[in-house]
């Protein structure tokens, strides 16, 4: 998964209202309802204003990403939850979050980004939540959903692998491609209804439904007319030609995954998302 930079996320806080408008246009719902839909809960069952959410900056590894905690706080706040960034970082920040009786604590090191529910002890994971959100968005943007349809997944990293599993659960016929062919072949051997594709350009040309979970750029002349594209990949992959040809491209660099994490961490989720799966998957070919 691409490590975010302050530059990549600099417009997240100011862009939240626009993202909501984009979602209303592309999938006919706002970010709160989208996040709830992604994990199968009813927005009306959650009293968003009753949740206090702390975001704790973490200095480990490559350290703090400028604007990351604030961007997460703004995305969570856009759901109607009461979010704040702790003054302190790391363990001191976690103790501050507990002292402030935060219900949910978001924190990210270079490996994992989680939202921990201090009451239920359940936690949601950004990888799972991002895959869940973008698979849901693809199904919402595609007339009649994904069942029985071919979907191309570009990128067999952690998000791509989760997305392949979820797409199969939705009855899609999945083609997957990756810059490391072995990663795509591993998924083909592991799941029924998944085909590894080595010729990525041909695969993009011949698929109208695409979930792009790769950091690469995708030349617009490969995109089929009226393509429906759900793209968690960072940085943004598409040029003007691709935007002209596609019927819809759903993309953002952080907020959609965070919104799904926040709703998932409330703990009403019908999904049994065991974050262990995501961690275990780390042992897969990277
Ligand atoms: C969670 C993001 C989504 C894409 N890549 C993941 C990433 O950049 N992870 C690193 C996050 C580090 C955050 C830093 C801070 O500012 O607290 N520890």
The pLDDT tens digits of the residues spanning 100-125 come to 999 999 999 999 999 999 998 889 99
Q: What is the mean pLDDT of residues 211-225?
A: 97
Average pLDDT, the chain: 94
Q: Are 265 and 38 in contact (CB under 8 A)?
A: no
Q: What is the mean pLDDT of residues 211-237?
A: 97
Is the CB of 73 within 6 Å of ligand 1? no
Is the CB of 57 within 6 Å of ligand 1? yes
Number of C-alpha atoms within 13 angstroms, CB side, residue 229? 31
Is the CB of 110 within 6 Å of ligand 1? yes
Per-residue pLDDT band for 55 (boundaries 50, 70, 90) equals very high
**Helix, coil or strand: residue 62:** coil
Ligand 1 centroid to Cα of residue 123, in Å, is: 17
**Helix, coil or strand: residue 19:** helix
Q: What is the mean pLDDT of residues 77-96?
A: 98
Q: What is the mean pLDDT of residues 234-254?
A: 97
DSSP string over 179-247: SSHHHHHHHHHHSTTEEE-S-HHHHHHT-SEEEE-SSS-B-GGGSPTT-EEE---SS--B-HHHHHH-S
Q: What pairs with residue 106 in β-bridges?
A: 55, 115
Ligand 1 centroid to Cα of residue 158, in Å, is: 14
Q: What is the mean pLDDT of residues 134-159?
A: 98
Could you give the residue ranges of the DSSP H alpha helices within the chain?
12-27, 31-38, 68-77, 90-99, 126-141, 158-169, 181-190, 200-205, 240-245, 255-266, 275-281
Q: Are 74 and 13 in contact (CB under 8 A)?
A: yes
Ligand 1 centroid to Cα of residue 107, in Å, is: 9
Q: Residue 267: what pLDDT?
A: 80
Residue 170, pLDDT > 90, answer: yes
Closest residue by Cα to atom 13, ligand 1, is 108
Ligand 1 centroid to Cα of residue 25, in Å, is: 29
Is the CB of 7 within 6 Å of ligand 1? no
**Residues near 243 by Cβ (< 8 Å), separated by ≥ 6?**
220, 249
Could you give the residue ranges of the DSSP H alpha helices within 48-123?
68-77, 90-99
Residue 281, pLDDT > 80, answer: no
Ligand 1 centroid to Cα of residue 222, in Å, is: 31
Is the CB of 72 within 6 Å of ligand 1? no
Ligand 1 centroid to Cα of residue 110, in Å, is: 6
Q: Which strands, in side-by-side order, build the sheet including 150-154?
A: 194-196, 173-177, 150-154, 209-212, 228-230, 248-250
Q: Which of 61, 68, 258 to mutate to test the pocket of ligand 1 (most atoms within 8 A of CB)?
A: 68
Q: Residue 282: what pLDDT?
A: 45
Ligand 1 centroid to Cα of residue 113, in Å, is: 7
pLDDT tens-digit series, residues 179-209: 999 999 999 999 999 999 999 999 999 999 9
Per-residue pLDDT band for 270 (boundaries 50, 70, 90) equals low
Is the CB of 56 within 6 Å of ligand 1? no
């Amino acid at each position: 998964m691409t490590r975010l930079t302050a530059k990549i996320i600099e417009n997240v806080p100011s862009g939240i209202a626009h993202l909501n408008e984009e979602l209303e246009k592309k999938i006919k719902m706002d970010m709160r309802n989208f996040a709830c839909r992604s994990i199968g809960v009813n927005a009306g069952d959650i009293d968003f204003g009753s949740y206090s959410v702390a975001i704790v900056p973490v200095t480990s590894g490559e350290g703090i990403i400028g604007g990351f905690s604030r961007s997460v706080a703004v995305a969570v706040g856009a759901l109607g939850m009461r979010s704040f960034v702790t003054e302190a970082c790391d363990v001191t920040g976690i103790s501050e979050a507990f002292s402030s009786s935060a219900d949910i604590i978001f924190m990210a090191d270079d490996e994992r980004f989680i939202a921990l529910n201090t009451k239920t002890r359940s936690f949601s994971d950004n990888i799972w939540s991002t895959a869940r959100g973008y698979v849901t968005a693809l199904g919402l943007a595609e007339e009649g959903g994904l069942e029985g349809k071919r979907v191309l997944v570009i990128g067999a990293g952690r998000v791509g692998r989760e997305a392949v599993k979820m797409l199969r659960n939705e009855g899609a016929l999945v083609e997957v491609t990756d810059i490391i062919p072995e990663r795509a072949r591993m998924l083909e051997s592991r799941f029924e209804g998944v085909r590894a594709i080595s010729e990525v350009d041909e695969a993009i040309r011949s698929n109208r439904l695409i979930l792009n979970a790769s950091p690469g750029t995708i030349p617009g002349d490969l995109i089929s007319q009226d393509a429906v594209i759900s793209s968690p990949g960072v940085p943004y992959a598409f040029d003007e030609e691709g935007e002209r040809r596609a019927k819809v491209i759903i993309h953002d660099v952080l907020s959609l995954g965070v919104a799904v994490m926040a709703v998932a961490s409330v703990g009403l989720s019908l999904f049994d998302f065991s974050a262990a799966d995501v961690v275990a998957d780390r042992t897969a070919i990277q």
